[in-house]
Chains A and B, each alone.
Chain A
Amino acid sequence: MKILAVCGVGQGSSLILKMNVQQAVDEMGLDAEVENTDVSSAKMEEVDLIVASGFHEGTLKEALSPVVIVKDFMNVEEIKKQIQEFLDQKGG
C-alpha cells in the first residue's frame, strides 16, 4: 500500500512522521511505501492512506484518500493503533 505522511510545510514534521509511520508499518509486517508531503498536495493525491495531525483534519475533509489522525508524531505505538483501526474498518 501507499501511505502519505503530511504536515503544513511538507518537509519538517512530515519527515519525522514518515520515519515513524515507516517503522510502524514495518513492525506490523505491512508492505507499504511511505512518502511525506504538504497538506495541500496530499489533498489531491490518490493513495491508500494519509496520516496527519488533527490540525489538518479540516483541510483534509475533501481529500481523495482516507485519512487517519495521529496526535504524537513520535509515538510509533499510537501510529500502529491508528493504522490498525483503519485496516479493521476497511476490512469489516
Chain B
Amino acid sequence: MYAPSTMPAETRKKALALPGDEGVFFFITADMAMFALFFLVFMVGQAQAPDIYRASRAALDPTLGLLNTLILATSGWLMVRAVDAARRERWSAARRNVIAAALVGLGFAVTKAFEYHAKISHGITLNTNEFFTYYYAFTGLHFFHFVIGVLVLAITQAKLAAPEGEKTRIWLESAAAYWHMVDLLWMVLFPMLYLAGGTA
C-alpha cells in the first residue's frame, strides 16, 4: 500500500504541491465552479422540457463534437509532453510541443467556425429555443476561454525561446493547467450538449 507518511517530508511536500502557480488554480477553480452552475442550469432546463432538448440535440453533429474532443485531448497531451520536457530542462523540446499544442488546438477553432456557420445558415440561432440559447452561450463562453488559452500558449512559446529556469517552468505549468481546464470543460460540454438525454 502506498504510504505517503514514509516519504521524506521535503519529497512529500513536493509531491503534493500543485504544478505551476497556485494562484492560477484559484482562477481555475472559480471558473469551473461557474461552469458547474451553467451545467446545472442546463440540466434543470432539460428536465423541464426534455422533448425540446431531444429534438434540438438531433440538429447537432456529434461527429464534429467528437472531432473537437480528440483535437483538444491531443493538444492537451502535447502540453503534458512540453511540461515533462521543461522539467528536464529540455527547453527547445518544450517549446516545440507548446507550438504543436497550439497548432493542433487551432483545429478546434476551425471546426467550431464550421459548426456555427452551418447552424446559423440553417436559421438556428441563439433565440431558436432554450436548448440553443445554452448551446451558443456555453460553447461561446468556452470558445472565449479557448481563445485566451491560445494567446497564453503563444506567450508561453515566446518565453520558452529564452527560458529563465524555474520561472519559465512555473509559467509553463500554469499555462498547461489552464489549457487542461479548457480541455476538461469541453469534455463535459460535449456529452451534455451532443449526447446526454438522447435525440429525437
A and B associate = no
Which residues does B use to contact A, with CB under 8 Å?
A: none
